[in-house]
Protein backbone atom coordinates (compact mmCIF):
# COMPACT_ATOMS: atom_id res chain seq x y z
CA UNK A 1 0.00 0.00 0.00
CA UNK A 2 1.41 3.39 -0.97
CA UNK A 3 1.90 5.66 2.01
CA UNK A 4 -0.27 8.77 1.89
CA UNK A 5 1.57 12.09 2.43
CA UNK A 6 0.56 13.96 5.57
CA UNK A 7 1.56 17.34 7.00
CA UNK A 8 4.46 16.80 9.38
CA UNK A 9 6.55 19.00 11.67
CA UNK A 10 9.10 17.27 13.94
CA UNK A 11 8.29 17.42 17.66
CA UNK A 12 4.67 18.59 17.11
CA UNK A 13 2.97 15.18 17.14
CA UNK A 14 -0.32 16.54 18.53
CA UNK A 15 -0.65 18.97 15.60
CA UNK A 16 0.51 16.40 13.05
CA UNK A 17 -2.28 14.07 14.17
CA UNK A 18 -4.81 16.92 14.17
CA UNK A 19 -3.94 17.63 10.52
CA UNK A 20 -4.07 13.91 9.69
CA UNK A 21 -7.55 13.64 11.22
CA UNK A 22 -8.66 16.62 9.13
CA UNK A 23 -7.25 15.10 5.96
CA UNK A 24 -8.67 11.61 6.38
CA UNK A 25 -12.14 12.57 7.58
CA UNK A 26 -12.52 15.14 4.78
CA UNK A 27 -12.49 12.38 2.17
CA UNK A 28 -15.98 11.86 0.74
CA UNK A 29 -15.65 8.08 0.73
CA UNK A 30 -13.99 7.79 4.15
CA UNK A 31 -15.54 4.81 5.96
CA UNK A 32 -13.29 4.30 8.97
CA UNK A 33 -13.54 5.08 12.67
CA UNK A 34 -10.63 7.37 13.52
CA UNK A 35 -9.18 8.28 16.93
CA UNK A 36 -6.41 10.52 18.21
CA UNK A 37 -4.48 8.73 20.96
CA UNK A 38 -2.25 10.47 23.50
CA UNK A 39 0.34 8.27 25.21
CA UNK A 40 1.78 9.50 28.52
CA UNK A 41 1.77 8.84 32.27
CA UNK A 42 2.03 10.67 35.57
CA UNK A 43 5.82 10.87 35.31
CA UNK A 44 5.72 12.20 31.73
CA UNK A 45 8.17 9.45 30.71
CA UNK A 46 6.93 7.04 28.03
CA UNK A 47 9.25 4.84 25.95
CA UNK A 48 8.41 4.50 22.23
CA UNK A 49 10.56 2.48 19.81
CA UNK A 50 11.65 3.09 16.20
CA UNK A 51 11.23 6.85 16.19
CA UNK A 52 12.83 8.73 13.29
CA UNK A 53 14.09 11.63 15.42
CA UNK A 54 16.65 9.43 17.21
CA UNK A 55 18.01 7.05 14.60
CA UNK A 56 21.45 7.03 16.24
CA UNK A 57 19.93 5.24 19.25
CA UNK A 58 18.00 2.74 17.15
CA UNK A 59 14.96 4.99 17.36
CA UNK A 60 14.20 4.41 21.05
CA UNK A 61 12.87 7.61 22.64
CA UNK A 62 11.43 8.38 26.05
CA UNK A 63 8.88 11.12 25.36
CA UNK A 64 6.99 13.24 27.87
CA UNK A 65 3.97 12.38 25.71
CA UNK A 66 3.40 11.08 22.21
CA UNK A 67 0.38 11.21 19.90
CA UNK A 68 -0.70 8.69 17.29
CA UNK A 69 -3.93 8.01 15.40
CA UNK A 70 -5.73 4.67 15.38
CA UNK A 71 -8.09 3.85 12.54
CA UNK A 72 -10.55 1.00 12.48
CA UNK A 73 -11.59 -0.05 8.96
CA UNK A 74 -13.58 -3.16 8.07
CA UNK A 75 -12.82 -4.94 11.32
CA UNK A 76 -9.09 -4.28 11.54
CA UNK A 77 -7.14 -1.57 13.35
CA UNK A 78 -4.09 0.30 12.14
CA UNK A 79 -1.86 3.01 13.54
CA UNK A 80 -0.59 6.27 12.09
CA UNK A 81 2.56 7.33 13.93
CA UNK A 82 4.13 10.03 11.78
CA UNK A 83 7.35 9.93 13.83
CA UNK A 84 7.79 6.19 13.39
CA UNK A 85 10.11 4.23 11.13
CA UNK A 86 7.23 1.75 10.66
CA UNK A 87 4.71 1.99 7.78
CA UNK A 88 2.03 4.68 7.85
CA UNK A 89 -0.48 3.22 8.45
CA UNK A 90 0.85 0.21 10.33
CA UNK A 91 -1.24 -2.78 11.50
CA UNK A 92 -1.89 -2.39 15.22
CA UNK A 93 -0.43 -5.82 15.99
CA UNK A 94 2.86 -4.87 14.31
CA UNK A 95 2.95 -1.44 15.97
CA UNK A 96 2.33 -3.01 19.38
CA UNK A 97 5.26 -5.39 18.91
CA UNK A 98 7.77 -3.10 17.22
CA UNK A 99 6.63 0.44 18.09
CA UNK A 100 5.57 -0.06 21.70
CA UNK A 101 7.59 -3.19 22.41
CA UNK A 102 7.48 -5.02 25.73
CA UNK A 103 5.33 -3.50 28.42
CA UNK A 104 7.11 -0.69 30.20
CA UNK A 105 8.12 -1.02 33.83
CA UNK A 106 5.51 -0.21 36.45
CA UNK A 107 7.06 3.24 36.99
CA UNK A 108 6.92 3.99 33.27
CA UNK A 109 3.67 2.20 32.48
CA UNK A 110 2.08 3.87 29.47
CA UNK A 111 -1.48 5.16 29.52
CA UNK A 112 -3.55 5.94 26.45
CA UNK A 113 -6.10 8.73 26.09
CA UNK A 114 -8.40 7.77 23.21
CA UNK A 115 -10.32 10.65 21.59
CA UNK A 116 -12.71 10.23 18.64
CA UNK A 117 -11.46 12.31 15.73
CA UNK A 118 -14.60 14.45 15.62
CA UNK A 119 -14.11 15.47 19.27
CA UNK A 120 -10.42 16.11 18.71
CA UNK A 121 -11.05 18.37 15.74
CA UNK A 122 -13.63 20.34 17.72
CA UNK A 123 -11.87 20.76 21.07
CA UNK A 124 -8.11 20.56 20.50
CA UNK A 125 -6.13 23.81 20.68
CA UNK A 126 -2.49 24.65 21.26
CA UNK A 127 -0.78 28.01 21.66
CA UNK A 128 2.55 26.11 21.48
CA UNK A 129 3.67 27.63 24.78
CA UNK A 130 5.10 24.27 25.87
CA UNK A 131 7.66 24.64 23.04
CA UNK A 132 8.91 28.05 24.14
CA UNK A 133 12.46 27.99 25.47
CA UNK A 134 12.57 27.53 29.23
CA UNK A 135 16.26 28.44 29.62
CA UNK A 136 15.79 32.19 29.51
CA UNK A 137 16.77 32.53 25.86
CA UNK A 138 13.78 33.90 23.88
CA UNK A 139 12.57 31.72 21.05
CA UNK A 140 11.16 28.31 20.24
CA UNK A 141 12.92 25.15 21.37
CA UNK A 142 11.96 23.58 18.01
CA UNK A 143 10.81 25.28 14.78
CA UNK A 144 7.02 25.70 14.76
CA UNK A 145 4.70 24.39 12.02
CA UNK A 146 4.20 26.66 8.96
CA UNK A 147 0.55 27.47 9.75
CA UNK A 148 -1.19 29.45 12.53
CA UNK A 149 -1.64 27.91 15.96
CA UNK A 150 -4.73 25.70 16.19
CA UNK A 151 -7.71 27.20 18.06
CA UNK A 152 -10.69 25.15 19.31
CA UNK A 153 -14.06 25.78 17.70
CA UNK A 154 -15.29 27.47 20.90
CA UNK A 155 -12.34 29.87 20.82
CA UNK A 156 -10.13 28.25 23.47
CA UNK A 157 -6.45 28.80 22.73
CA UNK A 158 -4.79 25.96 24.64
CA UNK A 159 -6.56 22.74 25.60
CA UNK A 160 -3.45 20.58 25.10
CA UNK A 161 -2.85 20.04 28.87
CA UNK A 162 -6.24 18.31 29.14
CA UNK A 163 -5.06 15.65 26.69
CA UNK A 164 -1.67 14.81 28.19
CA UNK A 165 -3.13 14.65 31.72
CA UNK A 166 -3.55 10.92 32.33
CA UNK A 167 -5.08 11.37 35.79
CA UNK A 168 -8.41 12.62 34.42
CA UNK A 169 -9.72 9.18 33.55
CA UNK A 170 -13.30 9.48 32.31
CA UNK A 171 -14.73 10.87 29.11
CA UNK A 172 -16.45 14.23 29.65
CA UNK A 173 -17.48 14.49 26.01
CA UNK A 174 -14.47 16.53 24.93
CA UNK A 175 -11.16 14.96 25.87
CA UNK A 176 -11.74 11.23 25.45
CA UNK A 177 -11.05 8.49 27.97
CA UNK A 178 -7.87 7.05 29.50
CA UNK A 179 -6.99 3.35 29.26
CA UNK A 180 -4.15 1.18 30.45
CA UNK A 181 -1.98 -0.36 27.74
CA UNK A 182 -3.74 -3.71 28.01
CA UNK A 183 -7.16 -2.04 27.89
CA UNK A 184 -6.12 0.01 24.88
CA UNK A 185 -4.93 -3.03 22.91
CA UNK A 186 -8.03 -4.98 23.88
CA UNK A 187 -10.23 -2.07 22.82
CA UNK A 188 -8.83 -2.14 19.31
CA UNK A 189 -8.16 -5.86 19.03
CA UNK A 190 -4.37 -5.69 19.41
CA UNK A 191 -1.96 -8.47 20.30
CA UNK A 192 -2.93 -8.44 23.97
CA UNK A 193 -6.60 -8.02 23.13
CA UNK A 194 -9.47 -10.37 22.54
CA UNK A 195 -10.50 -9.12 19.11
CA UNK A 196 -13.16 -6.79 20.49
CA UNK A 197 -14.83 -4.58 17.95
CA UNK A 198 -13.58 -1.41 19.58
CA UNK A 199 -15.32 1.93 20.06
CA UNK A 200 -17.28 3.93 17.52
CA UNK A 201 -17.31 7.57 16.52
CA UNK A 202 -21.10 7.46 16.37
Catalytic residue among 21, 33, 66, 162: 66
CA 161 – CA 14 distance, rounded (Å): 11
The yes-or-no verdict on residue 40 having pLDDT over 70 is yes
pLDDT-based confidence at residue 51 (cuts at 50, 70, 90): very high
In a domain, 103, yes or no: yes
Which CATH number goes with the domain that contains 119?
3.10.620.10
CA 167 – CA 133 distance, rounded (Å): 26
Please say if 33 is a catalytic residue. no
Count structural domains, the chain: 1
For the entire predicted model, the pTM comes to 0.89
Expressed as residue numbers, the domain containing 40 is 13-187
Please say if 162 is a catalytic residue. no
In a domain, 195, yes or no: no
In a domain, 5, yes or no: no
In a domain, 128, yes or no: yes
Catalytic residue among 13, 21, 33, 162: 13
CA 154 – CA 174 distance, rounded (Å): 12
Average per-residue pLDDT in the chain? 89
The yes-or-no verdict on residue 195 having pLDDT over 80 is no
Which one, of 17, 70, 43, lies nearest residue 8 by Cα? Answer: 17
Catalytic residue among 81, 90, 123, 162: 81
Amino acid sequence: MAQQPFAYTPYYCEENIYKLCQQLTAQEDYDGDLFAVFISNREKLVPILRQTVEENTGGAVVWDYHVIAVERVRGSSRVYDLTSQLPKPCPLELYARRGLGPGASFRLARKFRVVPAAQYLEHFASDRSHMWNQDGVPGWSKPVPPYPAIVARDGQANTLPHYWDMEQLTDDGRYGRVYSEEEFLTLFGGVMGNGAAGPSNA
